[in-house]
Amino acid sequence: MARLSGWTQRRPLIALFIWVLVFAGAIGASAAVGSAFEDDNTMPGTESQELSDLLDERAPDANDSTVQVVFAADDVAAERTRIEGFLADLADEPGIAGVNDPFAEYGAVSEDGTVGYATAVFDGTTAQAGDLIAKAEAASGDGVAFALGGDAVREAGEGGGGAAEGIGMLAALVILVLMFGSLLAASVPLITAVFAVGTAFCLSMLVSHVVTLPTFLAPIMFLIGFGVGVDYALLIFARFRSELMGGASRKAAAATALDTAGRSVLFAGSVVIVALMGLFALGLGSLQAVAIAVALTVLVTMLASVTLLPALLALFGRRIERSVRKRAAKARRAPGSRWVGWSRFVEQRAWLAIIIVTAGLAALAAPLADLRLGFADAGTDAEGTTGREAYDLLSEGFGEGFNGPLMVVTDGTEAEATAAYTAIDALDTVEQVSPPFPIGADLWMSTVVGTAGPADEATVDLVHELRDDVLDEVEGEQLVGGSTAAAIDFSDIMIEKAPLFLLFVVGLSLLLLMVVFRSILIPVKAAILNLLTIGASLGVVAWIFQEGAFGVPAGPVEAFVPVMAFAIIFGLSMDYEVFLMSRMREEYLRTGDARDAVRRGLASTGGVVTAAAAIMMAVFGSFILDDARLLQQFGIGMAVAIFIDAFVIRCLLVPAIMKVMGRAAWWMPKGLDKVLPHLTVEPEPEPQRAAREPVEVH
């Protein structure tokens, strides 16, 4: 790392030119080739996937994507001419392959005659779905309301997250300017992050032609990439600035920063990638694709932090140095170190801090006891959206269960399908079930409407009851599927395979930390504290979104969120763990005083960790402004996790625990020490017990 720093110091323009060339080349290649983003919703081994494959093979028309056209009036029959005219116009729109006649179909108009629906086969794009929404809004009025429902409509109605991304970048710039007192110094980490995220996204567009990457990837890549990019660059830049304040030359400061914080960044980024690879244990293509894309983003960010950032420091180092030395001259007149004082304060109340903080985090995690995974339906969309209006109208006219119908397909005779229909119709939890109708050779379908909404626990119980009890006793092969059943299957996979995923991520991270810090208790402490952080943050997400706090529509926690958040938060928490503990270990090896090592380590990293956390919180928290519920949950969950990890765990709980553990924190059995490979993220000074200078942190 020191040699790499020396090379960039001697040839900063070449290093910068290489990055500009890579960035421009990635932009050009992605613009020429384009992207092939596509959602992979396959779930091997599930009944809903088995049904989907069966329909694709033997009745493809029954598996078409559809849009529901909902209409309402005081008397639908009286407005028939106007409604049929609108449906005829809609059938001519691009992306619409056909629209059925609701007045010729039994049950398509509610019993009170105020609400009805038609089904349109949709094979168009998101933009074309947006045009359909505009057409429905324009046609509404004068006693008739039109609204559209369906997955394509919900996708088209969600924003792209541009406002959230802009707000996150602006907040990061403001925090950096306040921290460094210089716009130029604040811009260096931002420039590094922009190059890294931009390059990674363009590369992901190219990778999408080889690996199936999801359509919702862009905002998630920004969410992770920009936060991590600024974080990593800031850790290195802060060490560079600290060395300058200590009197080092620009060249020596850059070499030390890269050889210390740079190595910490590479290790921490590697842990993030390892955690993301744990998603492969779940066996779901959609999550595996996200893991690949985010890991690529983190990898590019790591490379930018240790190559592009040193080049920028060499180019702008003289002006940055002048600003730093001016602030250092003022800071030297400031008495003592607040972080050392805080560390002493915590040490004196170590057990009290441990008990209070642990109890508080456990209380925040309490909502996880009733965690309900799933996919939010249109009933959780914002008031006034066409999807929410369609959901409410259908619930009013036909019951809530109508928004989440189940498909029951019989592969066999009509008699077997009729027997299945009879058994289903006898259930109290079923509002209505259609008689079986043929959809292909020896294939019969019934549509089942439950008494509860698609995201309700009662609907989950109904699906399991149909599969495990009711239809299991009927002759022939019956399969239960559809989008509602598929969402339930996805949640079941998450719950079933979560232990394997947790074991992989936590176990491998423990081993890596053990190798780096040559300790047994430090990795165990890190794993437990990370689990507390993740549990508390997901508990807050469940409280807000599942319980409906702050006026948020109540609904299940998106099934993607817990495992994705766990992998990413666990990896990011290691950033601060490695950065803080490596400085403590450096001081411990130098002095042999465990308590003083904690104080000095916190004094030299506390300000940087909290500033980096504030930036990441601003970036993640800005996604509450996004229309997509998935991104809102990601943003809030990660912002809360970063706050807890940086301000509660690192600044309060870690000093208390390290004081209690004392020298035992750095204990490693000799036999294990010989077996494990030797790897460090900080230079190891020769142990000495020389007189120590007072700590000053500016």
Mean pLDDT in residue range 110-136: 90
Residue 75 pLDDT > 90: yes
pLDDT at position 329 = 58
Mean pLDDT in residue range 467-483: 91
Mean pLDDT in residue range 347-355: 92
pLDDT at position 285 = 76
Q: Which residues contact 607 (CB under 8 A, 6 or more apart)?
A: 238, 339, 697
pLDDT at position 685 = 53
Q: What would the pLDDT profile of 161-186 be if each residue is shown by its tens digit?
A: 556 667 777 887 888 887 777 788 88
Integer distance in angstroms from the first to the last C-alpha of the chain? 26
Mean pLDDT in residue range 150-156: 82
Contact 143, 79 (CB under 8 A): yes
Res. 393 pLDDT band, cuts 50 70 90: very high
- CATH code of domain 65-157: 3.30.70
For residues 535 and 594, the model is more confident at 535
Conformation bin of residue 65: beta by default, left when phi > 0, alpha when psi is -120 to 50: beta
Q: Report the alpha-carbon distance of residue 596 to residue 600 in Å, rounded.
A: 6
Torsion sign (Cα): 373, 378, 384, 389: negative
Mean pLDDT in residue range 296-314: 90
Of the candidate ranges 461-470, 476-485, 566-575, 611-620, the one whose mean pLDDT is the lowest: 566-575
Res. 140 pLDDT band, cuts 50 70 90: very high
Of the candidate ranges 455-469, 507-521, 638-652, the one whose mean pLDDT is the lowest: 507-521
Domain spans, the chain: 2-33+160-329+350-373+489-675, 65-157
Res. 608 pLDDT band, cuts 50 70 90: confident
Res. 373 pLDDT band, cuts 50 70 90: confident
Percent of the chain with pLDDT strictly greater than 70: 94
CA 501 to chain centre: 16
Burial of 150 (0-12, 13-18, 19+ CB in 10 A): buried
Contact 216, 260 (CB under 8 A): no
Percent of the chain with pLDDT strictly greater than 90: 37
pLDDT at position 336 = 41
Residue whose C-alpha is closest to residue 189's, from 320, 357, 54: 320
Residue 34 pLDDT > 70: yes
Number of CB atoms found within 10 A of residue 160's CB = 12
For residues 423 and 504, the model is more confident at 423
| Phi, psi at 439, each rounded to 5° | -125, 0
pLDDT at position 151 = 81
C-alpha to C-alpha distances, 482 to 243, 322, 406, 525, nearest whole angstrom: 61, 65, 6, 45
Res. 698 pLDDT band, cuts 50 70 90: very low
Q: Which residue has the tokens 């989440």?
A: 404
